Structure 1
């Protein structure tokens, strides 16, 4: 039981710290935000959620506070680009 409690605590702390640094997806350019570039990602799975997660991670890695997916395509091999904002 103690190990289970520790596992939940680790998961909670890990997800809380990730949320602090994660970039937020937006549908349009945020008011007052400056575009700082473009990131791209690809995935071998046909899952759009995986592609979205990779784009979000790359945006956060570049120091963006938000990102907007501008293109996505493919069938079994998905690829996409996102404009990033700070």
Structure 2
């Protein structure tokens, strides 16, 4: 059974008849606006954290490989240019 605004209002009205209005309002503010199945648990958050960490590590690894490859290529070009210039002189 899903909780609707109508059922929340009905609950608020019933609580208001038993308790005073301020206490009923306080109690309703403490209840989540959705069912408890929709609230994230610690396990959900840990799984999400692990997923994000894996994605970040993968991207860092890819970026590091690209950076090292680019640096090697640039150093090779600079070495070739230095050798070519030294032969001209």
Common fold by TM > 0.5: no
Q: Which has the higher contact order (CA 8 A, sep 6+)?
A: 1
Q: Which has the higher strand share?
A: 1
Q: Which has the higher helix share?
A: 2
TM-score calculated relative to the size of structure 1: 0.29
TM-score calculated relative to the size of structure 2: 0.28
